[in-house]
């Protein structure tokens, strides 16, 4: 039973899982707390997938850690007091620092941590430990899209427009995203796009449930998305679809990009990608004849050793056709992890300071050092990227503090990563559950999770949201912020690490002020109004000279407690059209294979608005709803200028190159990996939810009937997949929805079916993203 702790009748909050950050209400229920619909939150309008609907199962003490654990002399993990556990962590880190210098301590964060935790973790690494060795698992998620957008636009925000714009454009090319399974409520935007007369092109080597919705499905060989984009750009030029005025006025670098595209004529691209020329032409026709259009990418093209260039090629397509920096047009990346966006903005990345500032920028260092009250010259420089940091464990890096990540399952070449973790002198893991990585630790710290704490997250649109505490954590559990404060004190830094998330957010606002991701104008009060605030949102000028800490005017408490001045609870904002929804039954799709709902999305009809195909200029933009007198921030970026020094977007001079590992005689088949509907990331949470586990209880290998026949495997029989890095075994799932030269494995499970045993850690040279999506394997019948 969940400990309710004076629970409010209804607490509006957000799902603990993916980057859509669906709104939900938490209400008292038979087992303590239950999920109820929250139709007033505009992104999901009440709809939730099975993961969100069942998320309160994570709050059950039976599913989570409730006391610290320490490694005993006999090698077991045993319960310990908080004092003993924290002392052991401080000693382990201090010992490594004394023996090997500050960089002998590493810190590994997670894309599920709130903004406040990500900020505090980055500050802890650089101020308390003085180490440069910090990065996070978001490096495995969106790093290529981030660098690609930085290069092209001077700024990276997953989507530079609200998701609502997707339903109103004329054509979407969706590259390497199976959002029907990874974030099902987002499918409504594609359904509405089509209902409005728009076209959907899906690029994916598999005919996924998302691809089944497409007007046109292109199924390239894994790792050839870059060539595909170049081929489309070639056809744009050849068939007269260039927007030369836009190129001249708002871009630079076109000639080099043009030359690269012209070297990728359609027949050559067909040979590289396997996509027939007529389909390439049809995609260009759909994209260019619509009045407005978008390219959206996800992990498919990004998790490659040329992911940054691949993103650049898709951005080039948008720029050459004038489909960027204009209403209802543009490039966007669909971030994956719950706070993948905010988690990369506030300092847990190896190369960045809060506010998305560069760690190598002297002015940025001075600004953040002043907020932190430290000497800027003593701030360490950039450290290793996530995989490189994991590789250095047990050699240069001797002790590691890890928060909210499970690399034993989610990192590439996972068996090697597991070895490196075991080679450490000291490993401390702060987590909610005893993940496969936590099970290796010397000390495990049980920390609070979504509904047990208040904090902010930033969804894939750059919309900053308030997740509120609805229940008390079990006794014996502490917040990550409190843990960092206790460790800092034990390591000699008494101040600067408060446990109160709003106080941390106040400091984050000051640290981000003036940076690319400027949160200085965002307050918990504005967020409590419910619909979020898009960054950048600078503070009004009069505030900039003063404190941006806790609001002095007695605003309502975001936890819903009455304001001392008698103001109404912010949940009760009397705004027309924004009434609290009934706590009614939940809607959601099936947890695994089965037809998707037809017709309009059940969250409600598309709001009235202009139809796709309208002119690119002078378009009234749809509203982003918000309560009166709260800032909206900046829902749409780049409409006037891009964030580069000269305001122009930059074409990327990119050209095709093969994957780091291509099939050969020994390993003749491509492996690609991904997610399934019932599970999230390493599965550490969702595998513990009975309904999700029952829906998808284990790994599988999806393969084409021709390949299955060649190796003599029938449906459900065990199949071994072998790469240069190891071997995984799982039942065969035979389907014509995948190319005959490719097998697919979901990566949510440990053990013999661990997909990441096989994956290739070849890194993108710019983003340091590993090549999760492409490697070479052989497949064979497994005994037993
Ligand atoms: Fe949660 Fe599902 Fe919504 Fe993602 S799509 S935020 S997992 S309910």
Query: pLDDT-derived band of residue 462, with 50, 70 and 90 as boundaries?
Result: very high
In the reported structure, the alpha carbon of residue 50 is separated from the centroid of ligand 1 by a whole-number distance in angstroms of: 8
Cα 630 to Cα 523: distance, rounded to the nearest angstrom: 9
Which range, of 237-246, 288-297, 631-640, 769-778, averages the lowest pLDDT?
Answer: 631-640
pLDDT at 578: 32
pLDDT > 80? residue 164: yes
Query: pLDDT-derived band of residue 659, with 50, 70 and 90 as boundaries?
Result: very high
Nearest to 662 by CA among 207, 204, 203, 224: 224
Nearest to 113 by CA among 418, 349, 328: 349
Which of 309, 334, 359 represents a domain boundary (last residue)? 334
In the reported structure, the alpha carbon of residue 690 is separated from the centroid of ligand 1 by a whole-number distance in angstroms of: 17
In the reported structure, the alpha carbon of residue 747 is separated from the centroid of ligand 1 by a whole-number distance in angstroms of: 18
Cα 772 to Cα 307: distance, rounded to the nearest angstrom: 11
- pLDDT, average across residues 378-392: 97
Map residue 697 onto helix, strand or coil. Answer: coil
Q: What is the percentage of the chain residues whose pLDDT exceeds 70?
A: 88
Q: Is 18 in the pocket of ligand 1 (CB under 6 A)?
A: yes
pLDDT > 50? residue 590: no
Q: Is 20 in the pocket of ligand 1 (CB under 6 A)?
A: yes
pLDDT > 80? residue 393: yes
Cα 298 to Cα 317: distance, rounded to the nearest angstrom: 16
Q: Is 37 within the bounds of a domain?
A: no
Phi and psi, residue 404, nearest 5°: 65, 40
| 219 and 319 both lie in a single domain | yes
In the reported structure, the alpha carbon of residue 53 is separated from the centroid of ligand 1 by a whole-number distance in angstroms of: 8
| 701 and 759 both lie in a single domain | yes
pLDDT at 63: 82
Give the number of the atom of ligand 1 that is nearest the alpha carbon of residue 16.
Answer: 1
Q: Is 290 in the pocket of ligand 1 (CB under 6 A)?
A: no
Cα 434 to Cα 158: distance, rounded to the nearest angstrom: 31
Instruction: Supply the residue whose CA is at minimum distance from atom 3 of ligand 1.
Output: 22
> Is residue 52 within a helix (H) or strand (E), and if so which, with residue range?
helix 50-53
In the reported structure, the alpha carbon of residue 534 is separated from the centroid of ligand 1 by a whole-number distance in angstroms of: 19
Query: How many CB atoms within 10 Å of residue 690?
Result: 10
pLDDT > 70? residue 445: yes
Cα 190 to Cα 632: distance, rounded to the nearest angstrom: 25
Cα 301 to Cα 88: distance, rounded to the nearest angstrom: 43
Chain segment 677-731, per-residue pLDDT in tens: 999 999 999 999 999 999 999 999 999 999 999 999 999 999 999 999 999 999 9
Instruction: Supply the residue whose CA is at minimum distance from atom 5 of ligand 1.
Output: 183
Instruction: Supply the residue whose CA is at minimum distance from atom 2 of ligand 1.
Output: 49
Cα 163 to Cα 128: distance, rounded to the nearest angstrom: 39
Residue 648 neighbours by CB under 8 Å, 6+ apart: 250, 251, 252, 641, 642
| 489 and 353 both lie in a single domain | yes
Q: Is 689 in the pocket of ligand 1 (CB under 6 A)?
A: no
Give the number of the atom of ligand 1 that is nearest the alpha carbon of residue 21.
Answer: 6
Cα 153 to Cα 325: distance, rounded to the nearest angstrom: 9
CATH of the domain at 441: 3.40.50.740
Which of 301, 334, 367 represents a domain boundary (last residue)? 334
pLDDT > 50? residue 172: yes
Q: Is 620 within the bounds of a domain?
A: no
Instruction: Supply the residue whose CA is at minimum distance from atom 1 of ligand 1.
Output: 52
> Is residue 485 within a helix (H) or strand (E), and if so which, with residue range?
helix 480-490
In the reported structure, the alpha carbon of residue 17 is separated from the centroid of ligand 1 by a whole-number distance in angstroms of: 6
Q: Is 176 in the pocket of ligand 1 (CB under 6 A)?
A: no
Residue 415 neighbours by CB under 8 Å, 6+ apart: 725, 726, 754, 757
Query: pLDDT-derived band of residue 32, with 50, 70 and 90 as boundaries?
Result: confident
Q: Is 616 within the bounds of a domain?
A: no
Query: pLDDT-derived band of residue 408, with 50, 70 and 90 as boundaries?
Result: very high
| 137 and 201 both lie in a single domain | no
Query: How many CB atoms within 10 Å of residue 465?
Result: 25
Query: pLDDT-derived band of residue 344, with 50, 70 and 90 as boundaries?
Result: confident
CATH of the domain at 284: 3.40.228.10
pLDDT > 50? residue 587: no
Q: Is 660 within the bounds of a domain?
A: no
| 314 and 391 both lie in a single domain | no
What DSSP line would sit under 364-432, residue for residue?
Answer: HHHHHHHHHTS-GGGS------HHHHHHTBTTTB-EEEEES--HHHHSSSHHHHHHHHHT-SEEEEEES
CB 456 within 8 A of CB 481: no
Q: Is 290 within the bounds of a domain?
A: yes
pLDDT at 631: 66
In the reported structure, the alpha carbon of residue 425 is separated from the centroid of ligand 1 by a whole-number distance in angstroms of: 38
In the reported structure, the alpha carbon of residue 467 is separated from the centroid of ligand 1 by a whole-number distance in angstroms of: 14
Which of 17, 451, 467, 587 has most ligand 1 atoms within 8 Å of its beta carbon, as the pocket-test mutant? 17
Give the number of the atom of ligand 1 that is nearest the alpha carbon of residue 24.
Answer: 8
Sign, CA dihedral 97-100-103-104, equals: negative
**Residues 275, 278, 284, CA angle at the centre, nearest 5°?**
90
CB 302 within 8 A of CB 769: yes
Q: Are strands 77-79 and 69-71 parallel, antiparallel or unpaired?
A: antiparallel
HSE on the CB side for 523, CA within 13 Å?
Answer: 22
| 160 and 126 both lie in a single domain | no
The number of domains in the chain is: 3
> Is residue 293 within a helix (H) or strand (E), and if so which, with residue range?
strand 293-297
Which of 181, 185, 465, 532 has most ligand 1 atoms within 8 Å of its beta carbon, as the pocket-test mutant? 185
pLDDT at 142: 85
* Full domain range(s) for residue 379: 69-141+340-452+477-498
| 298 and 320 both lie in a single domain | yes
In the reported structure, the alpha carbon of residue 24 is separated from the centroid of ligand 1 by a whole-number distance in angstroms of: 10
Q: List strand residue ranges (DSSP E) for 15-112, in order.
A: 23-29, 32-36, 69-71, 77-79, 105-109
Which of 304, 319, 334 represents a domain boundary (last residue)? 334
In the reported structure, the alpha carbon of residue 737 is separated from the centroid of ligand 1 by a whole-number distance in angstroms of: 25
pLDDT at 62: 86
Q: Is 17 in the pocket of ligand 1 (CB under 6 A)?
A: yes
Cα 257 to Cα 653: distance, rounded to the nearest angstrom: 5
pLDDT at 342: 86
Map residue 499 onto helix, strand or coil. Answer: coil
CA dihedral 393, 397, 403, 408 (to 10 degrees): 0
Residue 620 neighbours by CB under 8 Å, 6+ apart: 610
Give the number of the atom of ligand 1 that is nearest the alpha carbon of residue 55.
Answer: 1
Whole-number Cα distances in Å, 47 to 21, 43, 462, 605, 707: 11, 9, 20, 13, 38
Give the number of the atom of ligand 1 that is nearest the alpha carbon of residue 44.
Answer: 3
Query: pLDDT-derived band of residue 529, with 50, 70 and 90 as boundaries?
Result: confident
pLDDT > 60? residue 318: yes
CA dihedral 408, 17, 496, 502 (to 10 degrees): -170
Q: What is the mean pLDDT of the chain?
A: 89
Higher model confidence: residue 724 or residue 599? Answer: 724
Residue the block writes with tokens 């071997």: 727
CB 502 within 8 A of CB 524: yes
Chain segment 228-249, per-residue pLDDT in tens: 999 999 999 999 999 999 999 9
Residue 323 neighbours by CB under 8 Å, 6+ apart: 287, 292, 293, 294, 295, 317, 329, 330, 331
Sign, CA dihedral 364-366-372-376, equals: positive
Q: Is 51 within the bounds of a domain?
A: no
In the reported structure, the alpha carbon of residue 629 is separated from the centroid of ligand 1 by a whole-number distance in angstroms of: 29
Query: How many CB atoms within 10 Å of residue 257?
Result: 26
Q: Is 49 in the pocket of ligand 1 (CB under 6 A)?
A: yes
Cα 679 to Cα 336: distance, rounded to the nearest angstrom: 13
In the reported structure, the alpha carbon of residue 171 is separated from the centroid of ligand 1 by a whole-number distance in angstroms of: 25
Cis peptide before 536 (omega within 30 of 0): yes
Sequence-ordered alpha helix ranges (H) in 254-406: 254-262, 266-273, 277-289, 299-302, 307-320, 340-343, 362-372, 386-391
Q: Is 15 in the pocket of ligand 1 (CB under 6 A)?
A: yes
pLDDT > 50? residue 604: no
Chain segment 488-508, per-residue pLDDT in tens: 999 999 999 999 999 999 999
Chain segment 535-554, per-residue pLDDT in tens: 999 998 766 654 444 343 33
Chain segment 179-218, per-residue pLDDT in tens: 999 999 999 999 999 999 999 999 999 999 999 999 999 9
Q: Is 23 in the pocket of ligand 1 (CB under 6 A)?
A: no
Chain segment 743-771, per-residue pLDDT in tens: 999 999 999 999 999 999 999 999 999 99
pLDDT > 80? residue 581: no
Q: Which two tokens stand for residue 781?
A: 């019948």
| 487 and 352 both lie in a single domain | yes
CATH of the domain at 741: 2.40.40.20
Give the number of the atom of ligand 1 that is nearest the alpha carbon of residue 680.
Answer: 7
Burial 100-125 (b: 16+ CB within 10 A, else e): bebbbbbbbbbbbbbbbbbbbbbbbb
Q: Is 526 within the bounds of a domain?
A: no
Query: pLDDT-derived band of residue 121, with 50, 70 and 90 as boundaries?
Result: very high
Instruction: Supply the residue whose CA is at minimum distance from atom 8 of ligand 1.
Output: 52
pLDDT > 90? residue 91: yes
Q: Is 589 within the bounds of a domain?
A: no
Cα 617 to Cα 609: distance, rounded to the nearest angstrom: 15
**Residues 395, 491, 74, CA angle at the centre, nearest 5°?**
55
CB 465 within 8 A of CB 338: no
pLDDT at 566: 30
CA dihedral 224, 227, 232, 233 (to 10 degrees): 150
Which of 26, 45, 51, 458 has most ligand 1 atoms within 8 Å of its beta carbon, as the pocket-test mutant? 51
In the reported structure, the alpha carbon of residue 52 is separated from the centroid of ligand 1 by a whole-number distance in angstroms of: 5
Map residue 714 onto helix, strand or coil. Answer: coil
| 121 and 166 both lie in a single domain | no
Provide the total of helices (H) and of strands (E) in the chain, helices listed first.
24, 30
pLDDT at 630: 63
Residue the block writes with tokens 């964030």: 643
| 125 and 193 both lie in a single domain | no
| 172 and 297 both lie in a single domain | yes
Cα 65 to Cα 81: distance, rounded to the nearest angstrom: 14
In the reported structure, the alpha carbon of residue 185 is separated from the centroid of ligand 1 by a whole-number distance in angstroms of: 7
pLDDT > 50? residue 222: yes
| 204 and 115 both lie in a single domain | no
Residue the block writes with tokens 């404060």: 485
Higher model confidence: residue 591 or residue 171? Answer: 171
Q: Is 183 in the pocket of ligand 1 (CB under 6 A)?
A: yes
CB 71 within 8 A of CB 610: no
In the reported structure, the alpha carbon of residue 600 is separated from the centroid of ligand 1 by a whole-number distance in angstroms of: 19
In the reported structure, the alpha carbon of residue 19 is separated from the centroid of ligand 1 by a whole-number distance in angstroms of: 8
Which of 184, 187, 189, 459 has most ligand 1 atoms within 8 Å of its beta carbon, as the pocket-test mutant? 184
């Amino acid at each position: 039973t969940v400990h309710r702790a004076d629970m409010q009748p209804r607490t509006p909050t957000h799902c603990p899982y993916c980057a859509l950050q669906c709104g939900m209400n938490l209400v008292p229920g038979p087992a303590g707390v239950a999920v109820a619909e929250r139709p007033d939150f505009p992104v999901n309008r009440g709809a939730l997938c099975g993961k969100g609907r069942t998320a309160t199962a994570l709050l059950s003490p039976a599913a989570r850690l409730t006391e610290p654990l320490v490694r005993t002399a006999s090698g077991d993990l045993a319960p310990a007091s908080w004092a003993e556990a924290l002392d052991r962590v401080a000693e382990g880190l201090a010992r490594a620092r004394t023996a090997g210098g500050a960089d002998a301590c590493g810190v590994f964060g997670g894309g599920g941590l709130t903004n406040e935790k990500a900020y505090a973790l980055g500050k802890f690494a650089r101020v308390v430990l003085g180490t440069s060795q910090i990065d996070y698992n978001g490096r495995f998620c969106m790093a290529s899209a981030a660098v690609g957008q930085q290069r092209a636009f001077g700024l990276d925000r997953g989507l530079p427009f609200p998701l609502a714009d997707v339903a109103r454009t004329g054509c979407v090319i969706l590259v390497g995203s199976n959002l029907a399974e990874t974030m099902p409520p987002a499918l409504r935007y594609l359904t509405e796009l089509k209902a409005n007369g728009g076209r959907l092109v899906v690029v994916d080597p598999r005919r996924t449930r998302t691809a089944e919705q497409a007007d046109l499905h292109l199924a390239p060989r894994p790792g050839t998305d870059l060539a595909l984009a170049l081929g489309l750009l070639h056809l744009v030029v050849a068939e007269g679809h260039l927007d030369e005025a836009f190129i001249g006025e708002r871009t630079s670098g076109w000639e080099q990009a043009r030359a690269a595209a012209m070297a990728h004529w359609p027949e050559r691209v067909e040979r590289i990608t396997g996509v027939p020329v007529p389909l390439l032409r049809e995609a260009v026709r759909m994209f260019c004849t619509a009045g407005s259009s978008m390219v959206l990418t996800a992990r498919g093209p990004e998790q490659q050793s040329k992911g940054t260039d691949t993103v650049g090629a898709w951005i080039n397509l948008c720029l050459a056709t004038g489909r960027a920096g204009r209403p209802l047009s543009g490039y966007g990346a669909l971030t994956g992890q719950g706070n993948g966006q905010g988690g990369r903005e506030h300092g847990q990345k190896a190369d960045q300071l809060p506010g998305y500032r560069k760690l190598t920028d002297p002015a940025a260092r001075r600004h953040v050092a002043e907020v932190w009250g430290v000497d800027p010259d003593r701030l360490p420089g950039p450290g290793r990227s996530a995989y490189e940091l994991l590789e250095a464990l047990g050699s240069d890096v001797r002790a590691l503090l890890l928060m909210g990540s499970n690399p034993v399952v989610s990192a590439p070449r996972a068996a090697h990563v597991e070895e490196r973790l075991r080679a450490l002198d000291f490993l401390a893991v702060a987590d909610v559950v005893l993940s496969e990585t936590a099970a290796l630790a010397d000390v495990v710290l049980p920390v609070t999770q979504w509904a047990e704490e208040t904090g902010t997250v930033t969804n894939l649109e750059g919309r900053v949201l308030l997740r509120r505490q609805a229940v008390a954590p079990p006794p014996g559990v502490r917040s990550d912020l409190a843990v960092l404060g206790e460790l800092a004190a034990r390591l000699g830094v008494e101040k600067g690490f408060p446990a109160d998330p709003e106080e941390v957010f106040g400091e984050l606002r000051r640290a981000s002020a003036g940076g690319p991701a400027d949160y200085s104008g965002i307050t918990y009060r504005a967020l409590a109004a419910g619909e979020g605030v898009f960054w950048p949102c600078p503070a009004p000028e009069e505030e900039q000279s003063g404190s941006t800490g806790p609001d002095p005017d007695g605003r309502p408490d975001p936890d819903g407690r009455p304001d001392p001045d008698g103001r109404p609870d912010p949940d009760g904002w009397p705004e027309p059209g924004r009434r609290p929804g009934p706590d009614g039954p939940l809607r959601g799709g099936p947890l695994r294979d089965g037809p998707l709902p037809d017709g309009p999305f059940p969250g409600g009809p598309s709001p009235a608005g202009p139809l796709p195909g309208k002119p690119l200029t002078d378009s009234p933009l749809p509203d982003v709803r918000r309560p009166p007198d709260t800032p909206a921030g900046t829902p749409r970026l780049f409409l006037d200028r891009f964030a580069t020094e000269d305001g122009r977007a930059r074409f990327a001079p990119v050209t095709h190159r093969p994957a780091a590992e291509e099939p050969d005689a020994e390993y003749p088949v491509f492996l690609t990996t991904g997610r399934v509907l019932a599970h999230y990331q390493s599965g550490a949470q969702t595998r513990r939810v009975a309904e999700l586990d029952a829906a998808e209880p284990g790994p599988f290998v999806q393969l084409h009937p021709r390949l299955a026949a060649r190796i003599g495997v029938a449906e459900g029989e065990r199949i071994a997949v072998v790469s240069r890095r190891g071997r995984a075994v799982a039942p065969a799932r035979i389907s014509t929805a995948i190319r005959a030269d490719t097998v697919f494995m979901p990566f949510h499970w440990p053990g013999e079916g661990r997909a990441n045993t096989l994956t290739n850690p070849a890194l993108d040279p710019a983003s340091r993203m590993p090549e999760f999506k492409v490697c070479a394997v052989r497949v064979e019948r497994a005994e037993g």
